[in-house]
Amino acid sequence: MKKHAVVTGITGQDGAYLAELLLAKGYVVYGTYRRTSSVNFWRIEELGIQNNPDLHLVEYDLTDLGSSIELIRQAEPVEVYNLAAQSFVGVSFNQPVATAQITGVGALHLLEAIRLVNPKIRFYQASTSEMFGKVQAIPQVEDTPFYPRSPYGVAKLYAHWMTINYRESYDIFGCSGILFNHESPLRGREFVTRKITDSVAKIKLGKLDTLELGNLDAKRDWGFAKEYVEGMWRMLQADAPDTYVLATNRTETVRDFVSMAFKGAGIAVDFNGSGEGESAVDTATGKTVMRINPKFHRPSEVELLIGNPAKAKTQLGWEPKTTLEELCQMMVEADLRRNRQGFSF
């Protein structure tokens, strides 16, 4: 008998990679997507898993308790991975209530469904380094105090503590993975790395003049998403439920990533000016290829994230392998290929 797993948010970056991993490991995967006017399966199509007979696509909304119970009852999973969320920090400032309902209380719906239907099911909650926010220690580890700086971070912190509360109150095998930013060619274009690599590809191909960004000084610990979903799976195979940081222990600025991405496309840039007047110029043509647009600044910012994944290494045997340079190059090349083919996701 094959094991069943539920992956919420299969239309997202991590959902697609995790479904691919679980299918390769012989699971039957119930991947959830939202009913929208134009459902988008481009990621699972790009991975070539959309027609796998062991992949069942289930329409589901995390904000509905009844359908959460129904999902768990129908799928009969041994493992549930809750990856669905309103996951974009920028949007969470404009839609704080929706973010709380989806990203915060949504996780509670799944925990309740597990408690009521089958408390033996193992549960993974997609927690985030955004919970560290205004950081209280460098690098951040599992017991670094939290100080979220966005409605997204606050909602995720609620879901994180609920997972721990259900672990302690009902003996549910609930794991919280505090994952630092992880990127890939499947990353959404609203996030800074993919926005940069897609724009750099368009600039290289003459389809765009200038990339516009907000805070270039923000520092992030960026890893490769495909490796991070392996860490999620390992957490649910452990002997006991726990909380783990997955990160690379290296941090770079958004500016560094911009320069790396242009270099990856064969364009050398010089940065000029400062603050809102800062720009990047193509040294070969003298054209401005990046400038600041204040509309991309956030009401409050997370300035610096860097995580130490030592616990995950010792207890789960997990460690990141892909360097930021390799990751950036992989993303630039994927976006050059897509833009040459007229791909627009």
* Catalytic residue set: 128, 130, 152
Q: Count Cβ atoms below 10 Å from residue 87 Cβ, excluding itself.
A: 23
Residue nearest to ligand GDP (CB): 218
Three-class secondary structure of residue 28 per DSSP: strand
Q: What are phi and psi of 129, to 5 degrees?
A: -65, -20
- Let me know: does 19 contact 10? Beta carbons within 8 Å: yes
Q: Which is nearer to ligand NDP, 280 or 331 (CB)?
A: 331
How far apart, in whole angstroms, are the C-alpha atoms of residue 144 and residue 155? Answer: 18
**Residue 15 near ligand NDP by CB under 6 A:** yes
| Closest-CA residue to 139 (of 247, 227, 229) | 247
Of ligand NDP, ligand GDP, none, which one sits near residue 254, judging by CB under 5 to 8 A according to partner kind?
Answer: ligand GDP
Q: Which is nearer to ligand NDP, 80 or 84 (CB)?
A: 84
Residue nearest to ligand NDP (CB): 12
Three-class secondary structure of residue 194 per DSSP: helix
Specify the residue for token string 């000084």: 217
How far apart, in whole angstroms, are the C-alpha atoms of residue 190 and residue 126? Answer: 19
Of ligand GDP, ligand NDP, none, which one sits near residue 214, judging by CB under 5 to 8 A according to partner kind?
Answer: ligand GDP
Q: What are phi and psi of 130, to 5 degrees?
A: -60, -20
Q: Which is nearer to ligand NDP, 90 or 119 (CB)?
A: 90
With a CB cutoff of 8 Å and minimum separation 6, the contacts of 263 are none
CA dihedral 274→276→282→285, nearest 10 degrees, is: -110
CB of 305 to ligand GDP, least distance (A): 7
**Residue 126 near ligand NDP by CB under 6 A:** yes
Of ligand GDP, ligand NDP, none, which one sits near residue 99, judging by CB under 5 to 8 A according to partner kind?
Answer: none
**Residue 89 near ligand NDP by CB under 6 A:** no
Q: Which of 7, 58, 62, 121 binds ligand NDP (CB under 6 A)?
A: 62
Q: Which is nearer to ligand NDP, 243 or 267 (CB)?
A: 243
- List contacts with ligand NDP (CB under 6 A): 8-9, 11-15, 34, 36, 60-63, 83-87, 102, 126, 128, 179, 181-182, 188
